[in-house]
Structure 1
């Protein structure tokens, strides 16, 4: 095979799009495509959240109204507006309104700790924040002018468009990802690649009138933009759900069934713990945010379209996608989206098929760079010697090989970046936060396989400075500074950090199981396993799942290192053991051994009483 074949492109032409008045088709933007869809399906339901419905026409009017408010406050191209809202119809209205105003949005999750919220608002250099009265107190940044959605102004009902004048090269959003220096990186994404993304993905998601797309990703992650754009640019319905209803496992399965979802995209960790059967409406399942394994394909591909997508925030969400996968399919990164180019290079040299190199991405989807970090931008966004003059490539840091059958295969990373439960994590950011704790002198963060199987855990290895390095205290310390997905599941205290002969931290010496699985314990008080009371049963399940020996009645599942995925596994095991329905919210609302155990006893008594009243 010729070396030139190690570069692959799906074409560089811009996809067709309805034009703006007096402008060529190439200049259409996402919100303009949305407005064109509104003219085609004005009365169709665009957004659904419980009993609330917004038609395309009402969504268009509401977002126009808010866009005019933002324009009065100075919203213009290149300005950033913070969006501080939970998943809700108001959040969708706001994102559209910001784009219509010409400005760019910066999503900030209200669930983040106060320090993180303040940091992102300041790093984004936002002047305005769109939020609600109830949430305003959580974003304490004096320089921000609040726009309260539950306090509209008197003249917001005037007709007419918002008058935004953004161009494809202008910013559409700035989304922050984990940063290796301890400072989060804001990725500045212009409009140009987002239209390409949406028009490529719509047919793959089988989106259109009658389709129902689940808005699964948090608004603070770029995957949410794909869900929104695929639905609203095709005439489909974007379906929102409460956070508890999106928890992996039985809750998510029930939500998919109840909302009659036709297409969903989730990380592999979610697909692993969620059952695929009993979902007659589900036509398309897309694995994104982590490696797709054969077991996932086997579970989810029967009777539906199963795809594997790959991309980075720096390249407008998604760069490659596979053809439909079936049992036995070779799982690769797939082929590039339209207008995207991929290169496998070694020191700038194209490598042969089968040879490993770093994956570079080019095309319209490449972001402008990292917000206010020019040196980092220059290092990762480099001139494209293979494309048109002025083009750039993004160095992904992923190792890959070009396969003879026309795909790309992921091999690993050239740095320490990891993905845990679908989240991209720079261990350096977590280490930097740990080093601000008074009791920590050194800190190294790694990943290791969970002793009970499943997804990797994030593990913190710390050397104490003075005082104790209690895991619960360190977890609480980080919880005040970092979002939940950056907090390690396990904290290990070392007397000293292992080093190589060259004096660098020996990460290989830190590898291996964090804990040996605890030895089987005889049931307390001599009871057979089937007769354990609620608290005893919870303790035994947690011991195995969390690999923690000492568990007391008031220990909290999440403080012991549990996460949402492990919560789903925990509840599934309790259901299996007891033979009765155990809602996930039982654990979420009562996360200690005592609370959960006592609630299990209540559920068991209620179920037995009902069976006695209705035998057979």
Structure 2
């Protein structure tokens, strides 16, 4: 067994010596053996050492080609920290990233080219540029990675090389990676998740499979890619795992969920064909902090634990009763953010902004601190409600947000749940009313076929709200009162025999209902009429009588 402290490049060198004829890197065009891969890496590292100074950042064009992987490992071997730059990003974005880090040279490769060329970066910075504090940490660094910017401007994170070693070691052991295994390189190279995929593979003698992004589209395309290339190990997103069905010819042995909350339906689906793991980490804490052992669907019927520690990190929950913000401590914490005014160090700990809860089977994700909402005078964690929604068999995924009852731009006065799955909104409401405190039960339950996503893979909540607003008032048999109630509660099988408050109506939505009834001509209608109506039939029958 390899020492847990053996550096990454030494691990790869050992594999090259012990398994020279094994497949190291496969693309649709060509497969490189470890002997060939090692030769390309060595040549690139020597060129990098000749043309750059120790600790100088090198840019790597983030193309899905063998040369990008060669450049990454070559940079690690040469002791030159790297940053992936996506040619699809704007010139201004790449110029800012390269300029901040002092990038002069860009590693790029042409189609079919295995060994990358070092060319002057189009965004090369002026000689001698170095933000305050960067020179002091250059020798420690492996790479810089930029956050997605989903909560503001993207930030540049500096990650130490030494912190990668135990993280990769733990992945190799827990995922049983070795010769004969094949990992699909799924994450974009500008996302830090790619680093563990690449390194757990190449440090263990397995084969890294790199394909065009068009072959990674969640659904039948991704399912076909997994089978066609004989993939045994894959780490991908909740969206991809919910949209993709494992095929009958799968060779999968280990599947990992990463980048978002894992749902019980995903565990049930994928654990039927492979050992299924949940993973958790942040860009600021060396990729991954928690990785579960293979999960048992029976033990994850309602919620999914985050897993056990990986790498050299400590964990602390700041809050009462085992519930609060997760704080990561120890060597896994990255150096800090790099800004124009210099390095902003994290120190010995990083506050993740994630609310978690300690239970008998480990930590469970609850919600982002900045996503907590206040509705009806109560503070609610949407993630807690989402977990309860997904605990009902038949629900695939859920998103809970605070919105206006009618989906408009008024102040948020309702908890709205969008969900995917075969259950009815009425059955879901009954489940939630027996599971959650009354103030946590969403007022509106809206079933959708698919969740829209932003370019960086996050659920597009604005698009969900726009779709609900556009579809308000449809699907209840033409009765105007039923149409209104359907739009306000999401119950698609609402009938005239239902009571407004039994199907999700509340004081806030009653006011909206009254406003809509006035627009239909019942000018003197009031909330008291809604309160006194035993069923919606009472309102429906009075509407034509009282209209002017």
TM range (shorter): 0.5 to 0.7
Matched, 1:369 2:336: yes
Matched, 1:99 2:94: no
Conserved? CA contact 2:184–2:234, under 8 Å:
yes
> What's the offset of the Cα at 1:276?
1.4
1:299 to 259, 263, 269: 269
Aligned to 2:259: 289
Conserved? CA contact 1:82–1:105, under 8 Å:
yes
Matched, 1:332 2:305: yes
2:16 to 38, 50, 53: 38
User: Take 1:518 and 1:123, find their aligned partners in 2: how far apart are those partners?
Assistant: 52
Matched, 1:516 2:516: no
User: Take 1:127 and 1:113, find their aligned partners in 2: how far apart are those partners?
Assistant: 18
Conserved? CA contact 1:114–1:139, under 8 Å:
no
Matched, 1:318 2:288: yes
> What's the offset of the Cα at 1:129?
1.2
Structure 1's 489 and 113: CA in aligned 2 closer, same or farther, altered over 3 A?
farther
Conserved? CA contact 1:321–1:336, under 8 Å:
yes
Conserved? CA contact 1:129–1:144, under 8 Å:
no
User: Take 1:169 and 1:344, find their aligned partners in 2: how far apart are those partners?
Assistant: 32
User: Take 2:99 and 2:106, find their aligned partners in 1: how far apart are those partners?
Assistant: 11
Match of 1:117, SS state, is: helix
Aligned to 1:48: 26
TM-score, normalised on structure 2?
Answer: 0.65
Q: Over residues 562-608 of structure 1, what are the superposed CA-to-partner deviations in whole Å (9 max), with x where a residue is unaligned?
A: xxxxxxxxxxxxxxxxxxxxxxxxxxxxxxxxxxxxxxxxxxxxxxx
Aligned to 1:116: 93
> What's the offset of the Cα at 1:486?
7.9
Q: Over residues 431-459 of structure 1, what are the superposed CA-to-partner deviations in whole Å (9 max), with x where a residue is unaligned?
A: xxxxxxxxxxxxxxxx9848662665579
1:360 to 327, 352, 373: 327
Structure 1's 241 and 335: CA in aligned 2 closer, same or farther, altered over 3 A?
same
Alignment: residue pair count: 395
Structure 1's 220 and 240: CA in aligned 2 closer, same or farther, altered over 3 A?
same
Conserved? CA contact 1:187–1:314, under 8 Å:
yes
Aligned ranges 1:77-226 → 2 under 5 Å: 77=55, 79-132=56-109, 140-143=122-125, 170-179=140-149, 182-226=152-196
Match of 2:209, SS state, is: strand
> What's the offset of the Cα at 1:171?
0.4
Aligned to 1:403: 359
Conserved? CA contact 2:290–2:307, under 8 Å:
yes
Structure 1's 67 and 412: CA in aligned 2 closer, same or farther, altered over 3 A?
same
Structure 1's 408 and 512: CA in aligned 2 closer, same or farther, altered over 3 A?
farther
> What's the offset of the Cα at 1:488?
5.7
Match of 2:298, SS state, is: coil
User: Take 1:124 and 1:167, find their aligned partners in 2: how far apart are those partners?
Assistant: 12
Pairwise CA RMSD of aligned residues? Answer: 3.6
Conserved? CA contact 1:449–1:513, under 8 Å:
no
> What's the offset of the Cα at 1:132?
3.9
User: Take 1:176 and 1:487, find their aligned partners in 2: how far apart are those partners?
Assistant: 20
Q: Choose between structure 1 and 2 for higher RCO, CA contacts under 8 A separated by at least 6 residues.
A: 1
> What's the offset of the Cα at 1:514?
4.8
Q: Over residues 341-377 of structure 1, what are the superposed CA-to-partner deviations in whole Å (9 max), with x where a residue is unaligned?
A: 211013xxxx44xx32110112322111112377994
> What's the offset of the Cα at 1:221?
0.6
User: Which ranges in structure 1 are unaligned for 5 or more consecutive residues?
Assistant: 1-14, 18-24, 146-165, 383-391, 420-446, 460-482, 493-509, 523-616
User: Take 2:190 and 2:148, find their aligned partners in 1: how far apart are those partners?
Assistant: 12
> What's the offset of the Cα at 1:520?
6.5
Aligned ranges 1:523-602 → 2 under 5 Å: none
Structure 1's 512 and 399: CA in aligned 2 closer, same or farther, altered over 3 A?
farther
Matched, 1:68 2:77: no
Q: Over residues 83-128 of structure 1, what are the superposed CA-to-partner deviations in whole Å (9 max), with x where a residue is unaligned?
A: 1131111011100111111111101112223332222222333122
User: Which ranges in structure 2 are unaligned for 5 or more consecutive residues?
Assistant: 112-116, 128-135, 373-381, 384-415, 420-445, 478-548
Conserved? CA contact 2:105–2:119, under 8 Å:
no
User: Take 2:343 and 2:325, find their aligned partners in 1: how far apart are those partners?
Assistant: 17
Structure 1's 279 and 289: CA in aligned 2 closer, same or farther, altered over 3 A?
farther
Matched, 1:256 2:233: no
User: Take 1:485 and 1:273, find their aligned partners in 2: how far apart are those partners?
Assistant: 13
Conserved? CA contact 1:361–1:393, under 8 Å:
yes
> What's the offset of the Cα at 1:521?
13
Match of 1:308, SS state, is: strand
